[in-house]
Structure 1
Amino acid sequence: MSKNIIGVIPPIITPVDEQERVDEKALRLLIDHCIENGIHGIFVAGSNGECLALTQQERDRAIKIALDQVGGRVPLIAGVMDASTPRVIENIKRFEDMGGEVAVVTPVFYARHATQDETVRHFEEISKATSAKLMIYNIPPFTGQLLKAETVFKIAKIDKVIGYKDTSGNFPDFLKCLRYFKGTDFLLHQGATNLALPSLLLGADGYIPSLAPLFPRPYIELYNAGIRGDIEQAKKWAYIVDETCKIYPMAKSQTASTKYAISKLGFLDKRVIRPTEPITAEEERNIDRKLDELKEYIA
């Protein structure tokens, strides 16, 4: 296997209409916008895509639309996370039926995790039951389990597991992974945008930033400088990326702030799925001021 899922791969938002159904036209336009502006891949039905707020039917529909619109132009990965191994297997099988190839899998959630080994078994059972390639997704605030580097090493030995997205913020463990997998084809993506600079300089294959569709140039320039080892240019672009990330806490919900900011592209709505706290007029004004400061970087 050669590495092809590399670079800037945003977890795209899922535009929805008044009935909280996927806005197909807006989603297709968003995907085209990303690809036309040089984004390296698409992550659909991730946390930022409100994958578990959507009904199962709409979640599957979002994935199917994304697969169709991407059309093989860039790699596409899809979130199949769920509350049990059988449920994840069902999600992946539907994804495979749509033509999907790479599924992103978290530990199960809404569960009291007893051991790290249960997540190893989770991946073992999924691998036996499906044909898709699998990426490990470590996001402890949402799953209740912080995967240790040593657990990632075990899971990586399972057939069909090809990579790891780390949104734990535990940089020492990510460094262990960078050292352990150096020189292999195993993919390592940083999910915490504030850690993209050191991660890329030290060998990460890419990162997964939510706001990249709105600010593609600085995010791509940071990636390019990071993999070149150009520290000064990487620092320059990391500063801009850090400034864009100040948008996240400007609303009570990061989903709401992200959706509002990306809605400024003009072809999708800011609407979030219930019961997420909607953005207020004052929060919108604060984001607008920040966007005005960064207007030269907006695609």
Structure 2
Amino acid sequence: MSEQIYNQQLELAKLIERHTGRDGVHATAIPSLSFTRQSNVTGPTYGVHDPSLCIVVQGEKEVLLARERFRYGPADYLVASIDLPVTGQVIEASSDVPYLALKLEFTPSQVLEVLSDSEIGAGPKKNAKRAMFVSRMELSLLDAVIRLARLLENPKDIPVLAPLFTKEIIYRVLQGQHGVALAQIAIEGSGTYRIREVIQYIMKNYDKSFRIEELAEIANMSISSLHRHFKEVTAMSPIQFQKQLRLQEARRLLLSESTDAADVAFRVGYESPSQFSREYSRMFGFPPREDIKRLKSKYDQRINA
């Protein structure tokens, strides 16, 4: 890591500390930008990773997409170009040197705007790319990110300058090692673009059964081509993708509502409570009732600490 990058990350760390102050995820005055502070290594957390750029300035994080691991720290950045169900874990953090990170969300239309205004090629339309990647941090990207974060010190500048700096950040990522993977989410007709439409359909209808022929029709692909492209983009099959969405939503419902596992199983689309319990245990390591009891106990301990 160059001395310039190191110095800029120190400045960014101070900015994040100033606008967080305590552990957790913190929204900022820039709607698409959030900061995270964590003073301990965490257990796995489950959720849908929306399209965004993630930068760690202190500590280290690991993200699991199906069985594929993405590990990144201050020398790297991570990009998700499509909504993806993932498992995340802070693997390096302490009270003296807390984990500090930022997340900048973006949309395919923002990516398309940058592509339209530049001469960056999107690559072959047919070759779908993995919708998550880790790249080495570059000074030009970090410089744009810092200028965006500095706007929090001068909020009156945010409406005018935040969109410009965000556009520059997307441009820098598109110029990077895996820029083609980001570009393809915005290019109509690309394999990634068509798989994005299938993902949107599954996310809206995760609790309903579907025929693979329906998904192939949405993507305008053969069934075999759909399977191949979907797995290339998401590292899983459409059925596995839907299952992760169902189980994540089931866990959220069990945590937030006083309801039993069988009722939740039916609400998220399972026809068999016993199958739901088996698959829940396989994903989260514990049967539903035991898992929720364990999570609530951990939460109570944090609140009373």
TM-score, normalisation: structure 1: 0.31
Q: Which has the larger radius of gyration?
A: 2
Of structures 1 and 2, the one with the larger relative CO (CA 8 A, separation 6+) is: 1
TM-score after normalising by structure 2: 0.31
Structure with a larger share of its residues in strand: 2
